[in-house]
A and B are shown apart, each in its own frame.
Chain A
């Protein structure tokens, strides 16, 4: 696609429910990242994938959070048993890997605004 696409754009859920946030990266982008951004703050790293392999999940806050990218393209971030503190903007980004094995520019999607009530 033309850019990183995230869905839904807005999600309101009741405390205790599970939610799944979807990210469709730019076609051909190998690396995919999930970040969380609170109001007035910079994005905070959650996890990232190269192809289908999850390379780093050190930013996931606890075991209620998980992510997958089974076919190396679309990714899903799942939050189980949501809590009010999970309310934030969840952003996905994708990038190519350059000739030297390092990622190139990361393009961000418009995000999913999650509100837990």
Chain B
């Protein structure tokens, strides 16, 4: 079993819809949770960074962490065609810089 599980998709939604992306994990020591966006032929870029449980909002993006369920989510409101990309969740322990990534979910926003 992988430490981080993520549905690879692909996921297609119409423009303007709310998108929900999720990851589950097995390592209870993970404290830092991140979402990266990766466009085709590009490196991952950080979207959201949260520490421990709770919600964090940044514009159209909201990240949620539920440590009791070992479950994290990324919500995208008012989705745009430019949001079409692969979304990767990543997480790490306190004091350990090694990031463990999910496989990524390929998202397409249909105009």
**A→B interface (CB under 8 Å):** 4, 31, 33, 35, 40-45, 48, 50, 55-56, 58-59, 91, 93, 102-103, 105-111
Bound together, the chains give a CA A22 to CA B55 distance in angstroms of 38
A interface footprint on B83-111 (CB within 8 Å = 1, 0 otherwise): 00000101000111111111110000000
Q: Nearest residue in A to B90 (C-beta to C-beta)? A: A42
Chain B min CB distance to A100 (Å): 10
* Contact for B42 among A44, A50, A110, CB less than 8 A: A110
Q: How many residues of B contact A (CB 8 A)?
A: 24
Q: Are A40 and B8 in contact (CB under 8 A)?
A: yes
* Contact for A48 among B32, B97, B101, CB less than 8 A: B97
**B→A interface (CB under 8 Å):** 4, 6, 8, 32, 41-46, 49, 88, 90, 94-104
Bound together, the chains give a CA A33 to CA B99 distance in angstroms of 10
Q: Are A41 and B43 in contact (CB under 8 A)?
A: no
Chain A min CB distance to B90 (Å): 7
Q: Are B97 and A56 in contact (CB under 8 A)?
A: yes
Residues of B within 8 Å of A55, CB to CB, are: 97
